[in-house]
């Protein structure tokens, strides 16, 4: 218990003393409720698994449950702080986060059309994306604008 209490001390101090508005903080049990016990898996990557969820107001969200790490939570909370200050049409918004012991999650707005990857790599009979070159070009420009903003 003592080890768990020490684990996120710096993160808690940072959150309590920060001058920026932080997104809503959720407990792990709230995440379980939001995702109906992590039933609908949207995807998985090197940093964690993404699940579909629904907030109490009916808004759909994507809950990214991060893989456990051994660090003290400082990097995570710095990421929450920086991502929560972003606002761009080509960057998905952070709705909230969970930091409970070694359990960490990021809660993003849900994008109803699914993963961009499935559209880019879906092939038609010609062997190229079904979207066509013009649409792929527009997507690439949007991605570049989002990255430029984040940079």
DSSP bridge partners of 48: 66
Q: What is the CATH number of domain 2-112?
A: 3.30.200.20
100: which 2 tokens? 């409970």
| Closest by Cα among 82, 77, 102 to 4 | 102
One DSSP character per residue, 27-47 reads -HHHHHHHTTTTTSEEEE-SS
CA angle 86, 110, 42 (to 5 degrees): 120
Residue 66 confidence (pLDDT) above 60: yes
Cα four-point dihedral sign 11, 14, 20, 21: positive
Break the chain into its structural domains and give their ranges: 2-112, 115-151
pLDDT at 1: 44
One DSSP character per residue, 110-146 reads --TT--HHHHHH-B-TTSSBTT-HHHHHHHHHHHHHH
pTM across the whole model? 0.78
Residue 62 confidence (pLDDT) above 60: yes
**Residue 64 is assigned to a ligand binding site:** yes
pLDDT at 78: 76
pLDDT at 132: 79
Separation between Cα atoms, residue 69 and residue 103, nearest integer Å: 9
Residue 19 confidence (pLDDT) above 90: no
């Amino acid at each position: 218990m003592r080890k768990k209490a020490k684990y996120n001390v710096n993160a808690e101090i940072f959150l309590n003393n920060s001058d920026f508005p932080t997104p809503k903080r959720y407990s792990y049990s709230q995440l379980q409720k939001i995702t109906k016990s992590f039933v609908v898996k949207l995807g998985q990557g090197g940093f964690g698994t993404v699940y579909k969820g629904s907030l109490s107001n009916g808004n759909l969200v994507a809950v990214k449950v991060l893989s456990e790490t051994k660090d003290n939570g400082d990097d995570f909370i710095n990421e929450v702080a920086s991502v929560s200050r972003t606002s761009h049409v080509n960057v998905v918004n952070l709705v909230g986060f969970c930091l409970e012991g070694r359990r960490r999650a990021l809660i993003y707005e849900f994008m109803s059309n699914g993963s961009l990857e499935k559209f880019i790599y879906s092939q038609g009979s010609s062997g190229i994306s079904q979207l066509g070159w013009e649409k792929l070009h527009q997507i690439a420009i949007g991605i570049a604008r989002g990255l430029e903003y984040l940079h």
